[in-house]
Structures are given as C-alpha cells and as structure tokens.
Structure 1
Amino acid sequence: MEMMILSILAPQLHCEWRLPSWQVALLTSVVFVGMMSSSTLWGNISDQYGRKTGLKISVLWTLYYGILSAFAPVYSWILVLRGLVGFGIGGVPQSVTLYAEFLPMKARAKCILLIEVFWAIGTVFEVILAVFVMPSLGWRWLLILSAVPLLLFAVLCFWLPESARYDVLSGNQEKAIATLKRIATENGAPMPLGKLIISRQEDRGKMRDLFTPHFRWTTLLLWFIWFSNAFSYYGLVLLTTELFQAGDVCSISSRKKAVEAKCSLACEYLSKEDYMDLLWTTLSEFPGVLVTLWIIDRLGRKKTMALCFVIFSFCSLLLFICVGRNMLTLLLFVARAFISGGFQAAYVYTPEVYPTATRALGLGTCSGMARVGALITPFIAQDLISTSLFPTVEAEKDGGSYQIPSKAKEG
C-alpha cells in the first residue's frame, strides 16, 4: 500500500501544489533513495540482532513517518518525510528472509510466491481506498488510513516467532528449541528425535562474504537482475497513471489538432475512469503470481525469471504503437502480470542461493540495488514522459515571458 500510493499521490500533489514535473518525479524518487540507503543496514541488523527485531523496527519506523507525512505543510516537508518512509520500507524484504527460514525446500517456492498475493491485495486495496477517500477527504487522510495495516502488524508482532535457524547460529539454543516445540504443538506433531547441535557463528552479515570467489558472480548478477526488475516494475506502475492522464494522445496527434496551452502546469486530476483502469492493471498481479507459481517448479527459478522478462519486454515494446484505451489497458495488464511474477521469482531464488549467515545481508543488498533502479524510474515515467506528452509553449504574463506545459485536447 505504501508503494502503490506513490502513483496516486504524485498526480494529486502535481495539481494541488502546482508542482513542475521534475518535483513530482523527485517526490517518488526520494522514497526509493530512502529504501536504497537502508536496505543493507536492515539486512545487517537482521543478521546481527535477529530477523524479527529488524522487521519490527522497520515497520514501526514506517508507521511513524507514514502518519507524520500526512501533516506535511509544504513540499519540502513531504519530501523529507516520504524519504524517511522509504528508509523504513527498505527493511520490509527481511520478512522474506524470516519466512524462508521456516520453510522446507519442497514448499519454499510455492509459499514465498504466495506472499505476492498479499502484495497484490495491498495494491488493489490502495486503489479502492483512493476511489472512496480522495474525492471527499483528500490525500492526507489517504496517507493516514494507508498506515493503519502497519499499526495492526505492530500489534500482531508479539505473536511472530524468531527464526530458529538464526537462534542456533547466534548460540541461543534454548530459544530455538522453544520455537521448534511451539511449531510442533501448533501442528499437532511430535518433536523430531535427536539433539539440536549448537553451531554458533560470530561473523554474521559481513559484506566481504558476498564477494568470496564462490559468490562473487552470483552477487553481481543478482544485483543486475534486481536493478532491472525494479526499474521495469515501478516504471510501469508510474507510467500507467501518466498514460491514463494523457488520454488518447495517438488519435489526437494523427488528426493534427492544434495544441492548446493550459495553465496550472497542464494539471489533470485522475478521473473515476482512470481509477477503474488503474484497478484493472493492478489486478493483473494475481494472474501473474499464479502463472509464476505454476511454472517455477517445472522450469526452475532461472528459466522462470527469463520467461517473465521476455513477455514483459514484448508487451512493453507494443506500447510504442498507437492503440486504443482498451488495448492499452490489456498490454499494461499483461506486462505488469509478468514483471511482478519475475520479481517474485527473484525473491524465491535469492534467499536460496545464500547461506544462513549472510542470507539477510544478501537479500538486503539486492533490495538496495533494486531501489537504485526504482529511483531512476520517476524521472523517465513521470518527468520525461510528461515532457513528451505535454510540450511547452511560450506565454506572456505581466510583461514577462515564462514557459507552461500544454496538453493536446480535442475541441
């Protein structure tokens, strides 16, 4: 929800605060800057002090600044506060680390992929929430209400168990055994026979471990995969609202209608139709995860990622062709389904390839590289696209010359 809100908040503040396109893009990028700068830190905290501890602190951090950003009086304040929200979100991928360490190999891919269902539910719920909240209460209440699930998680965190693998690695055998007994009791199964061997490791979560000869190329390739994946996924999410705002630009340009200058920085609020189309493209994440779930154990992790990226690239290239609104929505639907599926395949592959001692750090650095790709996307999906769709024209006011964007309109 905190990520999906970016594609709704940006066009709203663009209109309400009369922001130029580069400031709108910066509003989104600063969130990814915060995520990028904190991902490795949260991974290190999780390896040093526990998966549950790192996840709980990051969620409370995000909750605090998420609510606080709703009271931002000016642009500079919301820029700083949303950046701090991004700093907290950078620790959320550690939930995958915690979850993966409770799963057997045969169920790991299926269970981690099913997390994507709840990511998709969050994005869909955010759009539905915006449909009801934005027209009456505005974006400030949307920010507050979007942080409520984080508060719920903070309360439920008391029942969340710490990773038994982590407890063994940190030498806390009693706590690990207590967790295993709790699992056995809740599953109605007996404890396995045998003795839990203490395997304490002092050097946990060291960056140099990611660049040993055995892991060096794996780390570099995973960084590139996560970078490309986030660049494509968030770029498509942000591009969707820009394309819907632009209207039927292709048919307009083909008829060679005159460009009409508009004030208010060519501002267009999202209409009900825009929200509904945005909801349809967001729903694509459900079939995306189901398709990935079906093929990942049949083709393997690497081939699944490759297939998802190829189909996404093909559908994205078709967006260059002038198509109608329905075909545009369909292409965005298919592209988003497969890029979200590829993202989840990367989430499955990454925790599996690193050992327990560096798993959280490995996932954290990959998440950090993903944010590097994501922070670039707003300047392409919002600023560059906006400039190409809405060319600027010279205008006169009070004897002075200035530039305003104009939007091609019919009639």
Structure 2
Amino acid sequence: MLTGISWMADAMEMMILSILAPQLHCEWRLPSWEVAFITSVVFIGMMLSSSLWGNISDKYGRRVGLILCMVWTLYYGLLSAFAPVYGWILILRGLVGFGLGGAPQSVTLYSEFLPSKSRGISIMLIEVFWALGAVFEVLLAMLVMPTLGWRWLLAFSTAPVVVFTALCFWLPESARYDVLAGNSDKALATLKRIAADNGTEMPKGRLIADRQDERGKIKDLLTPEYRKTTILLWLIWFSNAFAYYGLVLLTTELFQAGDICGVNTARAKVEPSCSLECSYLTFDDYKDLLWTTLAEFPGLLVTLWAMDCIGRRKSMVMCFVAFSVCILPLYACIGRTALTVFIFIARAFITGGWQAAYVYTPEVYPTVIRAVGIGTSSGFARVGALLTPFVAQVLLRSSVYLTLSVYCACSLLAAVAAWALPIETAGRALQESSQLNNNNQDTNTSSPQKASQASYGSQNGQSQGP
C-alpha cells in the first residue's frame, strides 16, 4: 500500500504538468518555449537524481532511499505553491523533480518481497496506483482550478506524499537487501513479521549469504553479461517516456485546438503573430483529458494478459507497435470525438509498454545492482521526458505531421530494442549476486522470498537460493 501511495504521488506530480502549463502560459504571459521549460525542468531534476537515489538505495537500503526522496518531494512540492515569479517556479519544480527521481525505488522495494510465479501480476497491480494518481489529479483540477487556482492545486497534489510520510514508519526494509548487507537478524525479523501478518509459520532453515559490500556501482551494469541488456533498456525507457509524456502534453494541445486541422489553422496565428496568445483549459478539455487518462486502466489489463501469454519482451513490442498504429489516424483531419478515441487507445498501449518495462527491469538485474539498474533506466527516461515538451509544445506549432512522425519513429525504435533484449524474465526467480561473481554462491544463499512466503511450503534443513 505504501509503495503504491508513493507511486500515486509520482503520477499526480507528472499529470499536473499538462494542466499547469496552459494556466501559467496565460496568467504569466509566457512564450511557448518558457512554458515547455516548466515541464522540462522537472525531468532535468529527475534525470540528475535517478542514479543517485538508486545508489543510495543499494548502499543504505531501499526503505531509506524511498523515504528520503518522498520527504524531499513533499517539502519542495508545498513550497512551489508559493512561487512568486517564473524563475522561482522553475527552481522549485526542478527540486520537486529531483525528489521524484527516487520514486521508482518503490518498485525495487516491492518486487523484492514477491515470489516469481506472481511477481508480474503483483507489480502490474501496483501500477494501478499510477493510473489512480493520474485520474485523481484530473478530477482535482476540475474542482480546484476554476475556483481556487493553480497554487491550491499544487498544494493539494501533495496529499499522497503527506500520507506516505505519516505512515512510513511502518514500511519494512527489503529482506533481500538486509541479507546481502550482512544484516541477517534484521532480515529474519522482517520475514517473521510477514509470516505473522499472513497467519503462517516460518519455514524451517536459516538464512545464509555472503555479505556484499560492493553494491550499487553503475559500472556493474556494463559488464559483458549485462551490457547489451542495459543499453537496450536505457533506449526503451528513453523512448517510452518520450512517447508517454509527449502524448499527455499533446492531448491538452490538441483538445484546445479542437483537432489536427485546428492546430494547422491556428498555427500561424498562435506563434508568428503573437507568441503570448493563449486559452485556458475549459471544462470540456478537462472532461476529455479525464477520458484519455482513464485509458491507463485497460492498458494495464491488456498488458497483464499479454505478459502471461507471450512474456515481457513481446508484450513491450506489441504495445509500442500498437501505439504507433494509433498515432497514424491523427495525420488526418479527424473530429474531436475520433481524436479522443485514438488518443485513448494510444495512451492505453504506451502505458502498458511502460509498465511491462517496470516489471522486466527489476527482474533482469541481481539484488546488488537492482536499484541502480532501475535508477539509471529511470534517468534515461527523464532525458526523454525533458526533451518531449519541445516537440509536443514547440515543434507542434511549426509542423503537426513532423511532430507525430517523431513519436511514431521513437515508439517503433523502442519496439526493435525490446525485441532484441537477450533475456526473457517471465517465470524467472530474482537473482542475488551470483550473476556478478560468476561463482556458485547461489548454492549457499537462502532465498528471503521463500522464507517470507510460508504458504509456498516449508523446507527441511537449510534454505537454498533461487
């Protein structure tokens, strides 16, 4: 629940960007490139901090890293509601982004408590919190923006982080991390607590693992064993974030114009004659934005089904190709209803592709570099996210068709990268440190996963690693 709440907070802070940009464009009379930079600065902060939070989580614990980044996000999220001028909103939202760079560590922590047979579906279920956060943000904007304004929206959007901070004392540390950090007693206490909560008994045996002091090094991601996987994952995460956030920003831009033809017709009017002309989001805009945001739920369901049937890699390929296909009808002058339908379907698939990547990434790396693996992948995602506003909000003013072509090509590139991934992780147990040491440590390393899930059966004698 707590890791889900942190994920919900991340989604709300991301979704608010597409709502905040048009408002400040009008209220502060900003040109389009300055509006785009309000979005980009958040992702710059996330890009700079993602690897740092991953390193902290691998060295000092998943719980420590997640709590620190959430407290940071809460502090600067509240301060940004009081930003008096454009320069301050940039600084404070950038610092919010710096905190949000650690939010993916919630997936790291959560995944290390899950058995391999249900890990995929369980991680996908936590992604429901992301969809809930995005929907809740739109509903909140519909209520707050017409009456109280954007400052109150920024303040109210920190609600999930407030809840997380108030309850974080309950959050347990990963037993896998504690074992590798040499804290076997803490790991055992965590597993006993889990067994008690589940109303079961601990399986017989004892935890044995070699202490790993060298944890969280980025260079380990580029060893011969993981180099190809790492580079392809960085490309997938970059492309996915570029396309996902691009579609979110395009949605408000296209809805304000009415359709593609509306963007083409208004293009000469909006930028060349006066870059400060603007229009506020209307109730209909919020309503259609809500409908397209709801697409995340069927996207999760489709991806969940696909991962069980065809595996993680092919699920990503399917989603990226389907997204590109859904973008193609937007080249025509379709009406607002058809526009909403195709954006809905495209959003469902690009959401599914990203969630499949979130399932695959912690599965493919061993515990000693799992957090930094997710952190660096998230960093590349933020590079794509910080670039996409200049396509969705700036390049769109010059060429609608070039803008759509960029997103199609980027998604197809991600599909090729997903197809080229060398490892399928469906049904594969989480690795500890044996992949890096290239010895048989896994024969004397117990599995906290087995100990924490007493319902999987007791073992006589010593527990063995996955």
Partner residue in 2 for 1:41: 52
Alignment of 1:189-338 (within 5 A): 189-248=200-259, 250=261, 265-338=276-349
Tell me the residue number matched to 2:166: 155
Q: Which residue of 2 aligns with 1:95?
A: 106
Question: Which of 19, 22, 31 is the aligned partner of 1:20?
Answer: 31
Matches within 5 A, 1:358-369: 358-369=369-380
- Residue in 1 that maps onto 2:74: 63
Contact 2:260 2:331 in 1 (8 A): no
Aligned to 1:370: 381
Shift in Å, 1:252: 8.9
Q: For 1:359 and 1:253, locate their aligned partners in 2 and report how far apart those are by CA, in whole Å.
A: 46
Residue 175 of structure 2: aligned partner? 164
Aligned residue number for residue 145 of structure 1? 156
Give the letter aligned to residue 152 of structure 1: V
Contact 2:258 2:335 in 1 (8 A): no
Residues 173-212 of structure 1, C-alpha deviations (whole Å, 9 max, x = no match): 1110000000110001110101111321010011111111
Partner of 1:107: 118
More strand by share: 1
Structure 1 pair 75–258 and aligned structure 2 pair: CA distance change class (3 A)? closer
Distance 1:257 1:206 in 2: 48
For residues 327 and 311 of structure 2, the distance between their equivalents in structure 1, rounded to whole angstroms, comes to 24
**Structure 2: gaps of 5 or more residues:** 1-11, 401-466
Q: 2:73 and 2:268 mapped to 1: Cα distance?
A: 47
Deviations 1:129-185 (A, max 9, x none): 000100100000000000121011011111111000000000011110000000110
Where 2:88 maps in the other structure, the secondary structure is helix
Residues 290-315 of structure 1 deviation map (CA, whole Å, 9 limit, x = unaligned): 11111101100000000000000111
Matched, 1:31 2:42: yes
Cα contact 2:362–2:374 (8 A) shared by 1: yes
Letter in 2 for 1:61: W
Q: Does 1:181 find its partner at 2:169?
A: no
| Residues 288 and 337, structure 1, Cα contact 8 Å, conserved in 2 | yes
CA distance in 1, matches of 2:105, 2:118: 19
CA shift at 1:115, angstroms?
1.5
Q: CA deviation at 1:317?
A: 2.1
> What SS does the aligned partner of 1:192 have?
coil
Query: 1:265 aligns to what SS in structure 2?
Result: coil
Q: Answer whether contact 1:228 1:370 (CA < 8 A) is retained.
A: yes
Give the drift of 1:258: 10
- Percent sequence identity is 69
Q: How large is the Cα RMSD of the aligned pairs?
A: 1.8
**Per-residue deviation at 1:316?**
1.3
Q: Equivalent residue of 1:291, what SS? A: helix
1:380 to 373, 379, 391: 391
**Any conservation in 2 of the 1:24–1:383 contact (CA below 8 Å)?**
no
CA deviation after TM superposition for structure 1 residue 92, in Å: 0.2
Indicate conservation of the 8 Å contact 1:242/1:386, yes or no: no
Match of 1:344 in 2: 355
SS in 1 for 2:276: helix
Q: What is the aligned residue count? A: 388
Cα distance, 1:387 vs. partner?
A: 4.4
For 1:87, give the aligned amino acid.
F
**Residues of 2 paired with 1:199 and 1:258: CA distance?**
66
Please report how far the alpha carbon of residue 262 of structure 1 lies from its aligned counterpart in structure 2 after TM superposition: 7.6
Q: Distance in 1 between matches of 2:328 and 2:127?
A: 25
Give the counterpart letter for 1:54 in structure 2. Answer: G
Q: Tell me which amino acid in the other structure corresponds to 1:323.
A: I
Conserved 8 A contact 2:62-2:108: yes
What is the CA deviation profile of residues 368-389 of structure 1, one whole-angstrom value per residue up to 9, with x for unaligned ones? 0000111100001011213457
| Structure 2 CA distance for aligned equivalents of residues 108 and 386 of structure 1 | 44
TM-score with structure 2 setting the length: 0.81
- 1:18–1:178 Cα change, 3 Å: same
Runs (5+) with no aligned partner, structure 1? 390-411
Answer yes or no: is the 8 Å Cα contact 1:230–1:371 preserved in 2. yes
CA distance in 1, matches of 2:338, 2:127: 26
